[in-house]
Each structure stands twice: as structure tokens, then as C-alpha cells.
């Protein structure tokens, strides 16, 4: 994928990895569509994009609202000639045990992380195919590869993305639709602060895992390099990514370790 002069849509663009990737892409004289539920955050990202010499369109978009997703996609596709890539970062995490998590939290996490993500991809796909193809990227997680304490529904929502987007990729090779699934480890962002606790409230703290992780800027550089190569899976992070190798080659050890992790 060449970035110069292209049009990309980034969800979750108001903070963290989505914001940092927008800033990096802005260096390529791109046209960026920036969406998120956090409007002031979007304006900040748009200002950085503009300072880096690129144009952006900003739209408030709640990824738990399927009607809004389809309406915004319709409006954007009406005005944009071509969207070359849709890079989805919007997501919400969880900090609660299986036994104490109410069904409303489980459904909300699935709505945002899974149903919202597939709804937007589906809304954009026909135009992308008509325009000769494009790159879809979605953000899974290390826990999209294996389960982890305190993350049951979050982990399930990320596992679901793999099944869906691997199928979408297989169906659309002939249409020149490429799919990159991002697998971040521990990145210093607000993801744990806004995670849902057992009462459906914000968890409000940065986990030690995130605090010791790589920065969002470094993560965005790894993501950009993976997107350039159109890698099917892009691993993002530091030494915690070793867990992927442990899961693959020593699954027994992974289950042993996961069972002993202090749930935060
Ligand atoms: N950080 C990590 O260690 C890590 C690890 C693995 C995977 N991930 C994944 O990486 C992606 C990006 O997260 P991040 O780490 O960059 O954290 P982040 O800074 O919290 O970014 C997530 C963004 O998604 C937005 N969002 C949440 N719910 C939304 C909704 N209903 N509609 C629209 N936007 C919504 C958030 O808005 P608000 O600011 O309003 O909440 C925020 O701007 C997420 O999908 C996350 O699951 C992160």
C-alpha cells in the first residue's frame, strides 16, 4: 500500500493508536476521515493532521449505534470519490470477572468492538469494490488470540473479528480487498481507563501493563510499517508479544500462566 495522496478512514481517531496513526499518515498528503465518539479529541487530531499538511473530515460516530454508522458511511461515500483504506481502532475494554459481569456490559462490548466494526466495514465495502479494491484493517488484541482473566467479553469480541475478517478476506481476494488484522500487546493509551467495570462504569485507571507498554506513537510506527506491507496480521508491542509464540508452540504453558495472572 502506498499512502501518498490516498484517502483513509480512521475510527477511534480521537486518541491512542488511531490518533497517532492519523498524524503519521498526515505526512503523506493524505485525505483523512476521522471518526470517534469523542468530539473534542477529534478536533485535536484534526488540528495535528492539518499542521502536518493533510486535509481531514471529522464526524462524531458512536460505534454502538448501527443506524448512525450506516448514515455516516452513506454521507461520507456520497462526497468522497474513493476511500482507499478503512482502519478501525474504536473499541472498549473490560475489567470484570465472568461471574460478576452483567449481560448489558457483555452486549455493549460486542456491539462496539464487533457489530459496529463489521457494520462499518460492510457499509464501505461495496464502494471499495466498485473503485477497484482497498485495505481494511481492524484492531484485535493479544487477547483476540487467547483468553485472559477479567477480559472475557472483550477477548470474545476480538476473537470474533478474526473469524469475520478472515472470511471477508477469503471472499474478496478477487475484488482486490486486502485485510490487515492488528494485534496489539500493551500500549500506553486510555483503553483501561475507559474499560467497563462490573457496574458498567469506567474503570478509571491505567493498568500497570499499559503503563509499562510502548507508546501509542511507537505502536503507530509499527502499524504503519505493517500496513505498508499489507501484512495479514500486524503484531504491535514489545516483549509481551512473546505470548503469541508461547500460545503457538507451548499452549500448555500459556494456559498455566494465564491461570496464574492476577486479574487487573
Ligand atoms: N492499548 C492497548 O494496550 C491495546 C491492546 C490491545 C488492543 N487494543 C485495541 O486498540 C484499539 C485502540 O485503542 P487504544 O489502545 O488506542 O485506546 P484509546 O486511546 O482508548 O482509543 C480507543 C478509542 O475508541 C473510542 N471509542 C470507544 N468507544 C467508542 C464508541 N462507542 N464509538 C466510537 N468510538 C469509541 C474511544 O473514545 P473515548 O476516548 O471517548 O473512550 C477512543 O478514542 C481498541 O480497539 C483496543 O481494544 C489496545
Find the CATH number of the domain harbouring 160. Answer: 3.40.50.720
**Ligand 1 centroid – CA 176 distance (Å):** 28
Report yes or no on 1 lying in a domain: no
Mean pLDDT of the chain: 97
Whether 20 lines ligand 1, by a CB cut-off of 6 Å, is no
Q: What is the pLDDT of residues 48-68, one digit of tens each?
A: 999 999 999 999 999 999 999
Question: What's the pLDDT at 101?
Answer: 97
Query: Of 119, 120, 162, 156, which is closest to residue 139 (Cα–Cα)?
Result: 162
Q: For the chain, how many structural domains are there in total?
A: 1
Rounded to two decimals, the pTM is 0.98
Give residue-wise pLDDT tens across range 168-226. 999 999 999 999 999 999 999 999 999 999 999 999 999 888 899 999 999 999 999 99
Nearest atom in ligand 1 to the alpha carbon of residue 139 is: 45
Q: Is 81 part of any domain?
A: yes
What is the per-residue burial (b if ≥16 Cβ within 10 Å, else e) of 50-82? Answer: eebebebbbbebbbbbbebbeebbeebbeebee
Residue of higher predicted confidence among 89 and 260: 89
164 an active-site residue? Answer: no
* Cβ atoms 182, 139 nearer than 8 A: yes
Tell whether the torsion through CA atoms of 211, 213, 217 and 219 is positive or negative.
negative
Please name the residue whose Cα sits nearest to atom 46 of ligand 1.
Answer: 91
pLDDT tens sequence across 98-144:
999 999 999 999 999 999 999 999 999 999 999 999 999 999 999 99
Q: Is residue 254 part of a domain?
A: yes
Q: Parallel, antiparallel, or unpaired for β 187-188 and 7-11? A: unpaired
Which atom of ligand 1 is closest in space to residue 14's alpha carbon? 43
The verdict on the CB of residue 191 being under 6 Å from ligand 1 is yes
100 alpha carbon – ligand 1 mean position (Å): 23
| pLDDT score recorded for residue 261 | 82
Residues 261, 210: Cα–Cα separation, whole Å? 15
Supply the range of the domain harboring residue 83: 7-260
Q: Which of 154, 164, 203, 255 is catalytic?
A: 154
Q: Is residue 2 part of a domain?
A: no
pLDDT of residue 264: 63
Q: Which atom of ligand 1 is nearest to the CA of 18?
A: 16
| Residue 87 pLDDT exceeds 90 | yes
Amino acid at each position: 500500500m502506498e499512502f501518498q495522496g490516498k484517502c483513509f478512514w480512521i475510527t477511534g481517531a480521537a486518541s491512542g493508536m488511531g490518533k497517532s496513526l492519523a498524524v503519521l499518515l498526515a505526512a503523506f498528503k493524505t485525505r483523512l476521515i476521522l471518526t470517534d465518539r469523542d468530539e473534542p479529541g477529534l478536533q485535536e487530531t484534526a488540528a495535528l493532521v492539518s499542521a502536518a499538511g493533510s486535509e481531514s473530515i471529522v464526524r462524531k460516530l458512536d460505534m454502538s449505534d448501527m443506524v448512525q454508522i450506516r448514515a455516516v458511511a452513506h454521507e461520507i461515500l456520497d462526497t468522497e470519490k474513493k476511500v482507499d483504506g478503512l482502519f478501525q481502532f474504536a473499541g472498549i475494554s473490560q475489567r470484570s470477572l465472568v461471574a460478576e459481569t452483567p449481560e448489558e456490559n457483555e452486549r455493549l462490548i460486542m456491539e462496539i468492538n464487533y457489530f459496529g466494526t463489521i457494520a462499518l466495514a460492510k457499509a464501505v465495502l461495496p464502494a471499495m469494490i466498485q473503485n477497484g479494491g482497498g485495505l481494511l484493517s481492524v484492531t484485535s488484541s493479544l487477547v483476540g488470540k487467547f483468553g485472559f482473566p477479567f477480559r472475557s467479553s472483550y477477548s470474545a469480541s476480538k476473537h470474533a473479528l478474526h473469524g469475520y475478517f478472515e472470511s471477508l478476506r477469503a471472499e474478496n481476494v478477487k475484488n482486490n480487498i486486502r485485510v490487515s488484522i492488528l494485534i496489539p500487546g500493551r500500549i500506553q493509551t486510555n483503553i483501561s481507563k475507559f474499560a467497563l467495570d462490573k457496574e458498567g462504569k469506567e474503570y478509571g485507571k491505567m493498568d500497570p501493563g499499559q503503563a509499562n507498554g510502548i507508546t501509542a506513537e511507537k505502536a503507530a510506527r509499527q502499524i504503519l510499517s505493517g500496513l505498508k506491507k499489507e501484512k495479514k496480521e500486524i503484531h504491535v508491542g514489545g516483549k509481551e508479544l512473546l505470548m503469541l509464540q508461547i500460545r503457538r508452540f507451548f499452549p500448555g504453558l500459556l494456559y498455566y500462566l494465564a491461570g496464574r495472572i492476577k486479574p487487573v
